[in-house]
Amino acid sequence: MTALRVIAQGLAVPVALAVAVIAQLAVVNRLPLPGGTGPDLVLLVVVAVAVSTGPTTGMLAGFAGGLALDVAPPASHLAGEYALVFCLVGYACGRARQAITHSAGELTMWAALALMAVGIAVGEAGKVALGLMLSDPNVTGPAVKHLLPVAIFYDLLLCPFVLWLVSVVLRRPAPAGAPRPELTQIAAAFRVASAGSVGAVPKLRLAGSTPLPARPPARQEPKLRLSGTSAAFSPAKPGVGGRPVKVNFSQASPAAAKPRQSTSPGKGWVRAARPSGQAAPRRSSPGKGWLRVTRPTGSPVSNLSSPGKGWLRAGPPAVTPAPKFRSPGKGWLVAGRPAAAAAPKFTSPGKSPGKGWLRAGRPAVAATPKRSSPPKGWIRPAKPVPPPRRKSPGRGWLRPAKPASRNVYAKSPSTRWVRHSHSPWPGRRRRLLALMGGRR
Amino acid sequence: MHEARWTRPVLVMLLVAAIALITLDFRAAGSSPAHAIGADVFGPVERVAGAVASPFESIFRTASGHQSGEIADLQKQNDQLRAQLAQAQVAAQDQAQLSQLLRLTDASHLRVVTGTVIAAGGAYSDTVTINAGRRQGIAPNETVLNGDGLVGVVTAVTASTATVQLATDAASTVGVRLAGTGEIGALTGTGATMTAPRELRLTLFSATAALLPGQTLVTFGSVGGRPYAPGVPVGEVTQVTSQPGGLTQTALVTPFADFSGLGVLGVVVSR
């Protein structure tokens, strides 16, 4: 990203806020709209910025926008009221966005809109509540009863447009459904990967092809951790070396060098490579971990936009299914399908990269005798037939899924799938029903 | 994430700053320097924005059937005639009192400075900003009117803009008297408690005076014509709401001025 673009992005939010303030005062407030009031553009922009960036930007934008509304000429309320409310709302929306992206991995359009709606309602109510507390003569019970629903209604009407505009202004992809710039990143990564694999097949294979004794399963620097976590992944390790491709990937990504605090939740299957005991139960939820791994930098959106990085760095980067990369979950599955380019090289089961790949992603516990022949099953997945793919590696993480709809998972295990698989409610519902039935 | 480290401290700082601002403004009764600085910063921008937005706003107004065509013209004429009638009533029926009032103000020195509305307050404040200010001779606490009648009072000025508190604002109180009888009372804005058209609440200080729908009100006037110049038509009594046995009489008053479609306003400058 060039410096110019950084400056432009930094200026985008202040400019958007200034435009919103002026438009609010000079246009919206003067329109004789039915209902006696109009939308609050500044609140809309603040909430949209918070939802599409994060708590820091949200709270700063909220304070600035609120203060501008407080002191711009026709304002008759006390200076600082809206600054206080908008600051809190921006921070809360940013935090909620962070929480959602951390748990679900991706902020869908509907989630963003719902979050915006809640933030707007809270913001409007907060303005009113503060006015009532400060005994503003204009903010009285009947007035609130008249105006609050109307204001929220107008705000909700404008919600999608403002969200869209803000995401355009911030030059980031809309939470969902918008064109994904990550396709270009993935395509570039794949180009690098395939170029590397042409001349340096063994390097690519190293991910899995090294014989077992050379690498104990529970070693401290598993390949997958290299991609996501930073520490163990250094090219200075000649013992594990001979993998310049992976090394290069990690170095190419600025995120790899960052300390991972919140970005490496450890829940994921990548950490499963670590010899920690808690990896086993969590491996039932692979998508989550995968998503988290791909989010190593500060801004989740841009990271989410390139889900392929995580597993590309992890090792087998042979296939280029760019057009299919709409959802990160897909990418994960495609990751298991590296055979298209490298299939001829994986013919021998002992050398199959899938083995190594799998081992990297699994704790030592998973090293069952069946794993001696994994390539058949799921390295070949280039074939469009899902069942063989799911045979050997699926044991670990695909088994919790419903076996009947495996095709669905093979095709689009999107975040919905991931979330669904995480949801505690089916189990609770079942237990509740059992409880009720037992009482009867 | 990097923001987690300093987001919270900054958040706390911002909240403290906001609360400090509120406190300062509360102590200064809403006229702290923050407002002056904000007016100086945003005033010129709003002048430009208001000039740019005016055509679009008039298009919207016309498109939404607000004040359109012949009806609007006739309505305006009607309002003007009514205002003239109110003034004529004042002149004819109460000339003695009026001349006495006018003696308080140096009427010959009154002049009107006009300005156009360039911005309006939010849902909970009936205030507008006009594009004339200190440079045009406007000072705080001066009467604002338009062709129909009383609009409000100037509350703050910058070099090039002035903020007007409308008579419908809940914080506004205007001294008025009935055009026919000269009974005095106070007219308070109702804020947003009324849906449009907004009405004003009249409190007539006499418990026995005749108060009937259709009577018109004019401003009572203040010393030196500030904040309210005398004799400006305000509105018409539409509904008497007084309770029997009360010390005062109350009524709802429909203002002559159309507060939802303010355009050119005049400020009575007292020098």
The ranges assigned to domains in chain B are 31-271
ipTM above 0.90, yes or no: no
Give ∠ CA B8-B12-B17 in degrees, rounded to 5: 145
CA dihedral A271, A276, A282, A285 (to 10 degrees): 20
Worst-scoring range by mean pLDDT, A149-153, B114-118, B154-158?
B114-118
Half-sphere exposure of A395 (CA within 13 A, CB side): 15
Buried b or exposed e, range B41-64, using 16+ CB within 10 angstroms:
ebbebbbebbeebbeebeebbeee
Question: At which residue do the structure tokens 């003696």 appear?
Answer: B103
What is the rounded distance in angstroms from the CA atom of residue B47 to the CA atom of residue B37?
Answer: 16
Cis peptide before B227 (omega within 30 of 0): yes
CB count, 10 Å around CB of B145?
A: 24
Residue type at position A181 = P
The answer to whether B159 contacts chain A (CB < 8 Å) is no
Within a domain: A177: no
Cβ–Cβ gap B196/A137 under 8 Å = no
Tell which wins on pLDDT, A437 or A149.
A149
Question: At which residue do the structure tokens 């069952």 appear?
Answer: A368
Within a domain: A440: no
Residues A165 and A187 in one domain: no
pLDDT of residue B162: 92
Largest Cα separation within chain A, whole Å, is 83
For chain A, give the percent of residues with pLDDT over 90: 17
Instruction: Work out the minimum CA distance from B164 to partner chain A, whole angstroms.
Output: 8
Tell which wins on pLDDT, A273 or A43.
A43
Tell which wins on pLDDT, B246 or B104.
B246
Query: In chain A, whose CA is at the least distance from the CA of B36?
Result: A71
Tokens of B98: 């009026």
Query: In chain A, whose CA is at the least distance from the CA of B198?
Result: A36
Residue type at position B100 = Q
The answer to whether B9 contacts chain A (CB < 8 Å) is no
pLDDT of residue A49: 92
Could you tell me if B240 and B211 are in contact, meaning their C-beta atoms sit under 8 angstroms apart? yes
Could you tell me if A177 and A108 are in contact, meaning their C-beta atoms sit under 8 angstroms apart? no
Residues A339 and A260 in one domain: yes
pLDDT, mean of residues A361-385:
45
Residues A308 and A382 in one domain: yes
pLDDT, mean of residues A2-9:
71
pLDDT of residue A159: 92
Residue type at position B201 = R
Residues A240 and A134 in one domain: no
**Which of these, B223, B225, B221, lies nearest to B271 by C-alpha position?**
B225
- CB neighbour list of residue A384: distance below 8 Å, 6 or more residues apart: none
Residues A216 and A161 in one domain: no
**Strands B127-130, B143-145: parallel, antiparallel or unpaired by DSSP?**
unpaired
Q: For the segment B7-55, what is each residue's pLDDT rounded down to a tens digit?
A: 888 888 899 999 998 988 888 887 788 888 888 888 888 888 887 777 7
pLDDT, mean of residues A137-148:
85
Asked which of A169, A198, A229 is the last residue of a domain, the reply is A169
pLDDT over 60 at A123, yes or no:
yes
pLDDT of residue A28: 87
Q: For the segment B145-193, what is each residue's pLDDT rounded down to a tens digit?
A: 887 788 899 998 988 899 999 988 888 888 898 887 888 899 988 877 6
Out of A25, A67, A131, whose CB is closest to B46? A25
Residues A221 and A273 in one domain: yes
Name the 3-class secondary structure at A95.
helix
Residues A135 and A233 in one domain: no
Tell which wins on pLDDT, A427 or A9.
A427
What is the rounded distance in angstroms from the CA atom of residue B25 to the CA atom of residue B212?
Answer: 42
The domain total for chain A is 2
Q: For the segment A44-84, what is each residue's pLDDT rounded down to a tens digit?
A: 999 999 998 889 889 999 999 999 998 888 888 888 899 99
Which residues on chain B are in Cβ contact (under 8 Å) with A265? none
Q: For the segment A399-427, what is each residue's pLDDT rounded down to a tens digit?
A: 444 545 455 555 555 555 545 556 677 78
| Contacting B residues, span 27-86, partner chain A, CB-CB under 8 Å | 30, 32, 34-35, 37-39, 41-43, 45-46, 49-50, 52-53, 56-57, 60-61, 64, 66
Most confident of A147-161, A303-317, B257-271: A147-161
CB count, 10 Å around CB of B189?
A: 27
pLDDT of residue A87: 94
* CATH code for position A105: 1.10.1760
Residues A151 and A188 in one domain: no
Buried b or exposed e, range A339-360, using 16+ CB within 10 angstroms:
bbbbbebbeeeebbbbbbbbbb
pLDDT of residue A152: 93
pLDDT of residue A257: 40
Which residues on chain A are in Cβ contact (under 8 Å) with B37? 71
Confidence category of residue A228, pLDDT binned at 50, 70, 90: very low
Cβ–Cβ gap A27/B57 under 8 Å = yes
pLDDT of residue B70: 65
Most confident of A232-236, A310-314, A317-321, B150-154: B150-154
Q: For the segment A191-219, what is each residue's pLDDT rounded down to a tens digit?
A: 555 554 444 443 444 344 444 444 444 44
Q: For the segment A77-106, what is each residue's pLDDT rounded down to a tens digit?
A: 888 899 999 999 999 999 999 888 888 877
Cβ–Cβ gap A76/B121 under 8 Å = yes
Within a domain: A430: no
Burial-class residue B77 by CB neighbours within 10 Å (0-12, 13-18, 19+). exposed
Q: Could you tell me how far CA A6 lies from the centroid of its own chain?
A: 22
Tell which wins on pLDDT, B242 or A245.
B242
Residues A79 and A149 in one domain: yes
Residues A419 and A318 in one domain: yes
Cβ–Cβ gap A26/B53 under 8 Å = yes
Asked which of A146, A169, A192 is the last residue of a domain, the reply is A169
Out of A30, A38, A54, whose CB is closest to B117? A30
B172 secondary structure, DSSP code: -
Instruction: Work out the minimum CA distance from A316 to partner chain B, whole angstroms.
Output: 28
Within a domain: A303: yes
Q: Which whole-number Å values give the CA distances from B217 to B102, B210, B254, in the listed order?
A: 17, 13, 10
Residue type at position A47 = V
pLDDT over 50 at A285, yes or no:
no
pLDDT of residue A425: 76
Residues A228 and A309 in one domain: yes
What is the rounded distance in angstroms from the CA atom of residue A232 to the CA atom of residue A131?
Answer: 55
**Strands B111-120, B264-269: parallel, antiparallel or unpaired by DSSP?**
antiparallel
For chain A, give the percent of residues with pLDDT over 70: 41
Question: At which residue do the structure tokens 């509105």 appear?
Answer: B235
Q: Enumerate the β-bridge partners of residue A249.
A: none
Residues A262 and A358 in one domain: yes
pLDDT of residue B214: 86
Backbone φ/ψ region at A237: left (φ over 0), alpha (ψ -120 to 50), beta: beta
Asked which of A147, A169, A191 is the last residue of a domain, the reply is A169
Question: At which residue do the structure tokens 């005095």 appear?
Answer: B184
pLDDT of residue A93: 93
**Strands B111-120, B216-219: parallel, antiparallel or unpaired by DSSP?**
unpaired
Average pLDDT, chain A: 62
Query: In chain A, whose CA is at the least distance from the CA of B164?
Result: A74
Q: Which whole-number Å values give the CA distances from B145 to A322, B112, B142, B166, in the listed order?
A: 67, 9, 10, 10
Q: For the segment B57-101, what is each residue's pLDDT rounded down to a tens digit?
A: 777 766 665 555 666 677 767 777 776 776 666 566 555 544 544
Which residues on chain A are in Cβ contact (under 8 Å) with B56? 27
pLDDT of residue A120: 94
Which residues on chain B are in Cβ contact (under 8 Å) with A63? 14, 17-18
Q: Could you tell me how far CA A395 lies from the centroid of its own chain?
A: 26
Which residues form the domain of A400?
A: 182-425
Within a domain: A431: no
Out of B118, B119, B170, whose CB is closest to A138? B170
Stretch (H or E) spanning B97: helix B95-104
Tell which wins on pLDDT, A150 or A201.
A150
